[in-house]
Amino acid sequence: MAARGLSFLAAVAVLLGCAAPDAVAPQQPVPPVLAETPESAEAAGLAPEPLVTTTLAAATTLAPTTTTTAAVEYESAPTTTSATTTSTTTTVAPTTTTTAVEPEPAPTTTVVTTTSTTTTLAPTTTTAAADPVASSQDEAEPVAEDTPAVAAPREMTPYQQAVAVASLLAPGFVVPNDCRPPPLDSPYSMPNAPRAYRSGVHAGVDFLCSTAGHPVVSVLDGQVVVAAGDYQDPTLQEWNEILAVATALGATPDYTLAMLSGRYVVVDHGIIDDVGHVVSLYAHLDAVDPGIGVGMSVDAGQRLGGIGNTGTRAGVLGDAYGQLHLHWNFYVDGQYLGAGLSESETRAVYAELFKYATGTEPRPEPGTVDAGTGLHDQDGDSFAPRPGPAGPGTLTPSGHRPLDEPVSLDQALEAATRLSDDIVVPSDCQAVPLRWPSALPNAPRAYRSGTHQGVDFGCARLGQPVVAALAGRVVMAVGDFEDPSPRQRSRLLDTAAALGATPAYTLVMLYGNYVAVDHGIIDGVGHVVSLYAHLDGLDSGIRPGLWVEAGERLGTIGNSGTYAGASRSADAGLHLHWELHIDGHYLGIGLPAADTRAVYTALFADAGGTQQ
């Protein structure tokens, strides 16, 4: 076998003009495992193939001296030799040799298998003065032209990805406020600018305005997913104390950031081809327009509300004209557009996004392709789209941040035990439902392609009280939620199904009326926040900034945000959905059912009312 392989390679080398037969380097012997019988190869999982070995000779025929027939050129069929390897690949360029030879036989394929070196010999074309009789019977085969190699697309950089997204969206884009041109030359008003007062980074664009109530409009067609219009600013002292927690943490907690949005609207633009899942947020509004409710469809340019300053320091101080502006965030696949880019790159991305809406360039005709997509580099090479964005700026409501490392059972038990002395069961409708895994965290929620983050306390009737589990300060209080219709709700959940995960603001919608309480940084535990969702209503006076004691009433149990609520079934599905977060993750995140039950048993061990 080895001898025949050497003979074959030597012959090919001669035909290529590479070396004389005796100059061919000896080939490595075939390992025994590959030289076994077909039966043993099949047993090893290797599909046996017939090995065809042909020894090619350098056939040379002198042209007959007695004939006057003109020689006819004949293109021999290509002979392909391939070898399979696990290490090195060498390609020998095609060589054309003109020799007087007899017609070549039909194409022959020889397969040589080795585990060390792969030599792929390109087709060898021999042009010969053929036998006149054979030539008169055979037509010359056409020579296939070489197909130019196509370079594999290169991966985009974050900047190139952002420019490409902006270019694809620009033709249908509308500026959300026309009070002034977009502040492209004001870095502080653009994404990625520092926000030291809350130990964070600016995630959007601030459109300044001197007129309260100036229209704020949707930038693209979409569906309203959040319409929080009953926000009330805290006092200055309350505001400062909430921000002091952010300073101590060195980052802005999620629900604190939501509070700082003031009155706001979020529009889900769905999954856009070649872009991703697109969401926009409109914050600091003086009011949400009547009729703008969760689930309703809006068109690009449709009014959502008016310019204001809710959620800002000026709003806290009661200054009706200070800091009037729209804070506008634009998210693609859960990350704000341009997250982590340099100042100049950020400006270029948003200039690309706004170029038609501001008249910088004429808007293209419908159906035409925007040439300025940034999908090629200066040399014309194409780029491969990256997977979903990652890195700074990812929209992550509590419980959705990627864990640096898993939280162990011991860590969760220690936190639960430390909190158990002060914890109060948030509802006395029923004993803590520790026996039902579906009512505890980490249970699947297939209807929204997500995971349950809290404890569900079922209740038989409306009006049952919900109380704070620990002392703390209210940071979010949404009491004006109106359920969408079942059809509208299903449309938003269809997006979650397509994504395979629950988008952040879709999850906020599913809370219905809710309260979030910040319990501060607790020694030996971390930063603790609790959430109370699906409320029928909030108690009078419950607002952002208010201090509440453990056991103090927040509202009453209902079914807002649920399918029963969307179906207008007032008495169906009544329950409190309660979450406890530590350092941005719900308690027990990622644990199996038995361990989750153990953690919450420890948490409520001293609270009474637990179900054993």
Average pLDDT, the chain: 77
What pLDDT digit, counting tens, does each position of 416-436 carry? 999 999 999 999 988 888 888
Residue 200, strand partner residues = 195
What pLDDT digit, counting tens, does each position of 346-394 carry? 999 999 999 999 988 988 877 654 433 333 333 334 333 333 333 334 4
Average pLDDT, integer, range 163-169? 97
Q: Is the pLDDT of residue 525 over 80?
A: yes
CATH numbers and ranges of domains, the chain: 2-137 (no CATH), 158-384 (2.70.70.10), 409-603 (2.70.70.10)
Cα distance between residue 230 and residue 88, in whole Å = 68
Quickly list H helices, 280-325.
313-317
User: Which residue has better confidence, 594 or 48?
Assistant: 594
Cα distance between residue 596 and residue 588, in whole Å = 6
What pLDDT digit, counting tens, does each position of 587-598 carry? 999 999 999 999
The predicted pLDDT at position 403 comes to: 67
Q: How far apart are the first and last CA of the chain?
A: 75
Q: Is the pLDDT of residue 242 over 70?
A: yes
CB 536 within 8 A of CB 462: yes
What pLDDT digit, counting tens, does each position of 505-520 carry? 999 999 999 999 999 9
What pLDDT digit, counting tens, does each position of 248-275 carry? 999 999 999 999 999 999 999 999 999 9
Q: Is the pLDDT of residue 63 over 60?
A: no
CB 308 within 8 A of CB 263: yes
User: Which residue has better confidence, 103 or 400?
Assistant: 400
What pLDDT digit, counting tens, does each position of 284-338 carry? 999 999 999 999 999 999 999 999 999 999 999 999 999 999 999 999 999 999 9
Contacts of 535 (CB under 8 A, 6+ apart): 466, 479, 512, 513, 514, 515, 554, 555, 556, 557, 558, 560, 576
Q: At what angle do helices 504-511 and 486-499 cross, to 10 degrees?
A: 150
The predicted pLDDT at position 32 comes to: 30
Residue 432, strand partner residues = 610
pLDDT range class, residue 488, cuts 50, 70, 90? very high
The predicted pLDDT at position 329 comes to: 97
Q: Is the pLDDT of residue 345 over 50?
A: yes
Q: Is the pLDDT of residue 20 over 50?
A: no
Q: pTM of this prediction?
A: 0.72
